[in-house]
Amino acid sequence: MRSPKAIASFRRLYVHSLDFTPKSYLCTTKRAFLCRPSVNATVINPAATCCFPSQYFNNLASKPYSSSPQMEGIEHRIVKANGINMHVAEKGKGPLILFLHGFPELWYSWRHQINAFASLGYRALAPDLRGYGETEAPGDASAYTCMNVVGDLVALLDAVAADQEQVFVVGHDWGALIAWWLCMFRPDRVKALVNLSVVFSPRIPDRKPLETLRAVYGEDYYICRFQEPGVIEAEFKEIGYERILKGFFTYRSPGPLLLPKGKYFGQPDTPISLPSWLSEEELKYYISQYEKKGFTGGLNYYRAINSNWELTAPWTGSKVKVPVKFIVGDLDLTYNAPGVKDFVHKGGFKKYVPLLEEVVVMEGVAHFLHEEKPDEINKHIHHFLKKF
């Protein structure tokens, strides 16, 4: 059992307040997110000669993208941004909404939002983030810092929305954390933000995130288990990607997620039933993408948490100064982490996000709230964005 003192020391460190990688990458991404326009952001024309064979683009337009009614009309393309090839899905015309997914997700996690907001007169755009899905995946965790991923987004916006100086942003899980960084580093690019699940976490100068997580939760805590390259990937592969993804998507305990070796989401022979909001067909799409690329890209974000803590030192004490709405489920493990509820409801959150306009806590809802309750989430997002 962890001591009360250890728990108390964690009061202001959010479960997902992860900080990322080496300083050698700072110079490679600095221009991409500190300057506008970016010179290394271009849209790749599928018909043009490039590093992808034509079959690659044919695959983007084929199943499973178009295999269900939810996917009709969604366009897919590859954009060269910040030195990597990024896959983006988009639909609609009008003010752009940039949707940022988390782990273990994909652009596809926003399928309900893409269609809804396209019909409401917005241009909904959801990339596969660096390391996920059809987007390029550098091998080393040092390529997954806050500097890299924010650089990707700024370069992406330069390429696909050069006519819009500011855009709306909606983030979930890691996407929410990245959205906080985007707003902190480049508030000039964000008109308003709706973040789901992951609250803003101010940097604590004398406390490295990974060491704090180990002290509070122990080595079986999922973020700690993700640290050694190749180890957790091998375990995931042995157990099977279907069970791993089912386990993550069905996790509804407000307590910390522990992954002791050999006991992932219950005993290996215990069946995991899908929730009503995720069909077998939808799960198959996730499985197909992770079978192609594995989990390393997504796991590398977690492996860079201490490097991010180092890189964000200049922003210690900084505030997020864009209009914000925050939505979380009361069963979400992130909301139930030590100190988070007090931070959200007793003034800490508002102190660091002074333009925070609304906090919504959804009863009986867990982590993947935008998939579990898409209609309600869409109404919450739209009610906020239409003010602008």
Query: Which residues are tagged catalytic?
Result: 173, 302, 367
Q: What angle do CA 18, 170, 327 make, to 5 degrees?
A: 80
- 240 neighbors 317 (Cβ within 8 angstroms): no
Q: What SS3 state is found at 92? A: coil
The type of residue at 211 is E
Coil, strand or helix at 51 = coil
CA distance 116 to 22: 39
CA gap 50, 186 in Å, rounded: 31
- List Cα–Cα distances, 321 to 75, 190, 201, 255, 357, in angstroms: 33, 10, 14, 31, 12
| C-beta separation of 88 from 79 below 8 A | yes
For tokens 């271009």, the residue is 42
What are the structure tokens assigned to 281, written together?
């067909």
User: How is residue 234 written in tokens?
Assistant: 């091998």
